[in-house]
A and B are shown apart, each in its own frame.
Chain A
Amino acid sequence: MIFLDVASFVLLTLGGFFVFVGALGLYRMPDVYTRMHAAGMVDTLGAALMIAGMMLQAGFSLVTLKLLTLLILFFFFSPVATHALARAALHAGVKPILQDEPGESDK
């Protein structure tokens, strides 16, 4: 029984770490498209690890089924939203940064 607690502890901590890394990337990245890449980290890896950690705590019950639905929902909806965002940004004329402007390479 203790193994389940330790495993869910590790999973939740890792999930929290990746959620933080994703949000930090969302804040630090210079461009919309690179931010999208960082935000993807939050949706997929961070959320998946956290939900897996919660699943271990819930055991075989309806709650685990709901968590599984939530996980599948995240995995389907995050790419759809990101794809729509990229198309809308491209169509609206937001240019991706392809190479560093001169004199800005150290940033």
Chain B
Amino acid sequence: MIYIAAIFAVLVAMALAVISALRGPTVFDRALAGNTIGTLAILLLSLVGFLTGRPEFLDIGITYGLLNLIGTLAVLKYFRFGDMGHDDEEEQAPL
């Protein structure tokens, strides 16, 4: 019973994150919302795994956690330098 309440909370939070992703003016809002949606998806996955009594879902959640970070970093690197070829050493941006 308790999992249903937690799942409902995560779903509402995910809906809010999707709305803020659609609304966000800059691309970085969308990347941030995408990252949050990924985290919420992992939480939802593990909660459903607990609800239906299948612990294998946690493995999927861990894998997705790894992928989520890589995806976010790739998107950020693309939007930071315009293409994937750059790396940080050659170009010290005056932050």
Chain B, interface residues (CB within 8 Å), range: 35 or more
CA distance A73 to B64 in the complex (A): 11
The A63-107 residues at the B interface (CB cut-off 8 A) are 63, 66-67, 69-70, 73-74, 77-78, 80-82, 84-85, 87-92, 94
B2 shortest CB reach to chain A, Å = 5
Q: Is the interface of A mostly helix, strand, loop or mixed?
A: helix
A81 x B9 contact (CB < 8 A):
no
Cβ-based interface call for A42 (8 A): yes
Cβ-based interface call for B84 (8 A): no
Q: Could you say which residues of chain B place their CB within 8 Å of the CB of A70?
A: 42, 46, 58, 61-62, 65
Nearest residue (CB) in A for B66 is A73
CA distance A67 to B50 in the complex (A): 11
CA distance A80 to B14 in the complex (A): 21
CA distance A50 to B46 in the complex (A): 10
Q: Is the interface of B mostly helix, strand, loop or mixed?
A: helix
The B33-91 residues at the A interface (CB cut-off 8 A) are 33, 35-36, 39-40, 42-43, 46-47, 50, 55, 58-59, 61-62, 65-66, 68-69, 72-73, 76-77, 79-80
A48 shortest CB reach to chain B, Å = 11
CA distance A73 to B58 in the complex (A): 12
Q: Nearest 6 A-B pairs (CB), nearest first?
A: A16-B9, A23-B13, A23-B16, A88-B80, A66-B58, A88-B76
The interface of chain B, by Cβ under 8 A from chain A, is: 2-3, 5-6, 8-10, 12-14, 16-17, 19-20, 23-24, 26, 28-29, 31-33, 35-36, 39-40, 42-43, 46-47, 50, 55, 58-59, 61-62, 65-66, 68-69, 72-73, 76-77, 79-80, 93, 95
